[in-house]
């Protein structure tokens, strides 16, 4: 719908009046019309094959393009009627605020900051041009159904935010990284050695921590977006042509964590979630913290040989004079039948947002010296191999044992328990 000929409105009447003075007076360059600004600055954003600056934080669900329609006037009405533009103070427009979320043109991500500056200037120039156009401002409301907005509901947009994905990464992947240390940790002597031999690809646990590791992983080939369960990040630790050997068995806690996270990321990146009901259930379990605290069973009975064994560690509560209700740590691994030995590091658990969780998040997770109880489960029937989501329970319970521990860090300072002490 064309309502007017903007070029005529601007120049013609004025020139007619001042006629002969025109040559001696500075002629102001004609202000471009909203439609011209839109064509020149907004359409390229709309048509660009590249993602907008929003993708720095939104892995899916929302993009600046979602707010643009092919037509200038309808885009204006769409944004105006959703309260996304402020015609009195264009800088305060909600659409500009969304672009500024990354910290404006000075945000920490340099590449993205440039992109953001271009988007911001484009929208500001266009909104200002619109604000100066009374006819455009007077256009009728645009039908709700025609307004441009993200196709995904707000729950999906929230779920696909990078800070949320990072939170889940920390709980599901980062917590188990000690199984991969230090072979894969950038900047360690062991990783330096492997890097010389296998190249930079072995340094996928980044020295800058979980956020940097997440950035690397989601852009890498280690996650298969189409067949997430086939991701190298799962297949390698399952022992497939892996120099590091067998680090997971299907269904163990680390496998569960990695797979849960990988499947979620694949679904987010593949834009598979369309409604709130498609989202995975919220993680209501405890927070998990990887450690270099080690526990071992000596003298494992033959019945345990080469079977998957899981332990839950409970602490003695001196005030209540009882064992804690929930485990403070877990660990799981296959028993070495030949060596009659089981040993592994502990992952500590703390209720979400509890004082202990906060302390462990800020500092180094540790357990105090004292009295502890182990509850031991053996997957003799291969339950987890049949269903990776299954949990070991009463059917797999083989007994309990009390022990004292100093919990010193490191493989060389393991807490040892005689397996003969494990009784029902
Ligand atoms: C630096 C990170 C970052 C960037 C860049 C970013 N966002 Fe956001 N966005 C967030 C965060 C964090 C929230 C939640 C904040 C809140 O609830 O106040 C959010 C919330 C939103 C919401 C509201 C959803 C809800 O929870 O109600 C929308 C819509 C949105 N962003 C769109 C965009 C668009 C469009 C862009 C790009 C023009 C963008 N964002 C760029 C971090 C970002
Ligand atoms: C003892 C050292 C060691 C441990 C522990 C180890 N790895 Fe590895 N891993 C390697 C080496 C060396 C390579 C490179 C050669 C190869 O591909 O097998 C590798 C390769 C990989 C690769 C392929 C990287 C790429 O980009 O090609 C992945 C993924 C991987 N490991 C995951 C894991 C995970 C997950 C863990 C922990 C649960 C783990 N590894 C534990 C030594 C180790």
**Given a cut of 60, is residue 19 above it in pLDDT?**
no
Banded model confidence at residue 23, pLDDT cuts 50, 70, 90: very low
Check which CATH number belongs to the domain holding 407 and give it: 2.60.40
Q: Which atom of ligand 1 is nearest to the CA of 56?
A: 5
Say whether both 63 and 103 belong to one domain: yes
Last-in-domain residue among 254, 278, 302: 278
Say whether both 166 and 136 belong to one domain: no
Structure confidence by residue, pLDDT tens digits, 202-259: 999 999 999 999 999 999 999 999 999 999 999 999 999 999 999 999 999 999 999 9
Q: What is the pLDDT of residue 329?
A: 98
Q: Is the CB of 180 within 6 Å of ligand 2? A: yes
Say whether both 300 and 404 belong to one domain: yes
Structure confidence by residue, pLDDT tens digits, 384-414: 999 999 999 999 999 999 999 999 999 999 9
Q: Look up the domain containing 87 and give its range.
A: 27-142
Asked if residue 6 is part of any domain, the answer here is: no
Say whether both 131 and 196 belong to one domain: no
Say whether both 301 and 246 belong to one domain: no
Asked if residue 15 is part of any domain, the answer here is: no
Q: Ligand 2 centroid to 202 CA: how many Å?
A: 6
Banded model confidence at residue 326, pLDDT cuts 50, 70, 90: very high
Q: What is the pLDDT of residue 102?
A: 80
Q: Is the CB of 115 within 6 Å of ligand 1? A: no
Six-digit token string for 315: 């602490």
Asked if residue 347 is part of any domain, the answer here is: yes
Banded model confidence at residue 9, pLDDT cuts 50, 70, 90: very low
Q: Is the CB of 108 within 6 Å of ligand 1? A: no
Asked if residue 3 is part of any domain, the answer here is: no
Asked if residue 191 is part of any domain, the answer here is: yes
Structure confidence by residue, pLDDT tens digits, 140-175: 999 999 999 999 999 999 999 999 999 999 999 999
Q: Whose CA is nearest to atom 23 of ligand 1?
A: 154
Banded model confidence at residue 20, pLDDT cuts 50, 70, 90: very low
Say whether both 208 and 319 belong to one domain: no
Average pLDDT value for residue range 275-294: 94
Q: Which atom of ligand 2 is nearest to the CA of 220?
A: 26
Say whether both 310 and 405 belong to one domain: yes
Asked if residue 402 is part of any domain, the answer here is: yes
Say whether both 314 and 263 belong to one domain: no
Pocket perturbation via mutation, ligand 2, pick of 175, 232, 243 by most ligand atoms within 8 A of CB: 243
pTM for the structure as a whole: 0.88
Q: Is the CB of 237 within 6 Å of ligand 2? A: yes
Say whether both 248 and 269 belong to one domain: yes
Say whether both 404 and 296 belong to one domain: yes
Q: What is the pLDDT of residue 305?
A: 95
Banded model confidence at residue 27, pLDDT cuts 50, 70, 90: low
Q: Is the CB of 233 within 6 Å of ligand 2? A: yes
Q: Whose CA is nearest to atom 7 of ligand 2?
A: 244
Asked if residue 10 is part of any domain, the answer here is: no
Say whether both 82 and 161 belong to one domain: no
Structure confidence by residue, pLDDT tens digits, 287-323: 999 999 999 999 999 999 999 999 999 999 999 999 9
> What whole-number percentage of the chain has pLDDT above 70?
92
Say whether both 326 and 250 belong to one domain: no
Q: Domain total for the chain? A: 3
Pocket perturbation via mutation, ligand 1, pick of 45, 55, 58, 112 by most ligand atoms within 8 A of CB: 58
Six-digit token string for 377: 């489960």
Structure confidence by residue, pLDDT tens digits, 64-123: 999 999 999 999 999 999 999 999 999 999 999 999 988 766 666 777 889 999 999 999
Q: What is the mean pLDDT of the chain?
A: 91
Q: What is the pLDDT of residue 30?
A: 77
Last-in-domain residue among 224, 255, 278: 278
> Could you tell me the maximum CA-CA distance found in the chain, to the nearest angstrom?
110
Q: Is the CB of 163 within 6 Å of ligand 1? A: yes
Last-in-domain residue among 278, 302, 323: 278
């Amino acid at each position: 719908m064309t309502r007017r000929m903007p070029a005529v409105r601007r120049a013609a009447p004025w020139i007619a009046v001042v006629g002969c003075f025109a040559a001696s007076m500075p002629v102001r360059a004609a202000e471009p019309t909203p439609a011209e600004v839109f064509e020149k600055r907004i359409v390229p954003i709309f048509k660009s094959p590249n993602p907008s600056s929003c993708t720095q934080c939104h892995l899916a669900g929302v993009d600046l393009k979602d707010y643009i329609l092919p037509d200038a006037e309808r885009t204006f009405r769409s944004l105006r009627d959703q309260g996304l533009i402020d015609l009195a103070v264009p800088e305060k427009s909600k659409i500009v605020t969304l672009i500024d979320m990354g910290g404006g043109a000075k945000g920490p991500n340099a590449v993205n900051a440039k992109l953001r500056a271009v988007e911001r200037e484009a929208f500001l120039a266009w909104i200002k041009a619109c604000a100066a156009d009374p006819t455009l401002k007077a256009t009728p409301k645009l039908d709700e159904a025609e307004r441009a907005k993200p196709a995904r509901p707000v729950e999906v947009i929230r779920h696909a935010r990078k800070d949320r994905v990072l939170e889940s990464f920390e709980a599901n992947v980062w917590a188990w990284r000690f199984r991969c240390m230090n072979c894969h940790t950038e900047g360690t002597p062991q990783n330096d050695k492997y890097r010389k031999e296998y190249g930079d690809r072995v340094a996928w646990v980044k020295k800058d921590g979980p956020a940097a590791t997440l950035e690397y992983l989601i852009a890498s080939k280690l996650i298969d977006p189409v067949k997430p369960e086939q991701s190298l990040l799962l297949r390698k630790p399952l022992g497939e042509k892996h120099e590091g050997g067998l680090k997971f068995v299907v269904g163990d806690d680390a496998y569960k964590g990695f797979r849960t996270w990988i499947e979620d990321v694949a679904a987010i990146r593949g834009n598979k979630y369309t409604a709130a009901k498609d989202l995975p259930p919220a993680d209501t379990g405890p927070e998990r913290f990887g450690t270099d605290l080690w526990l071992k069973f000596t003298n494992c009975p033959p019945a345990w040989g080469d079977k998957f064994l899981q332990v839950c560690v409970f602490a003695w509560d001196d005030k209540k004079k009882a064992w804690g209700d929930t485990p403070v740590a877990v660990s799981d691994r296959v028993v070495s039948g030949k060596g009659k030995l089981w040993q592994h590091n502990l992952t500590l658990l703390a209720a979400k947002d509890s004082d202990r969780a906060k302390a462990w998040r800020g500092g180094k997770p540790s357990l105090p010296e004292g009295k502890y109880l182990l509850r031991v489960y053996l997957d003799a029937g291969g339950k987890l191999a049949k269903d990776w989501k299954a949990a070991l329970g009463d059917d797999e319970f083989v007994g309990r044992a009390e022990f004292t521990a100093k919990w010193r860090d490191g493989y060389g300072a393991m807490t040892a328990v005689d397996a003969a002490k494990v009784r029902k």
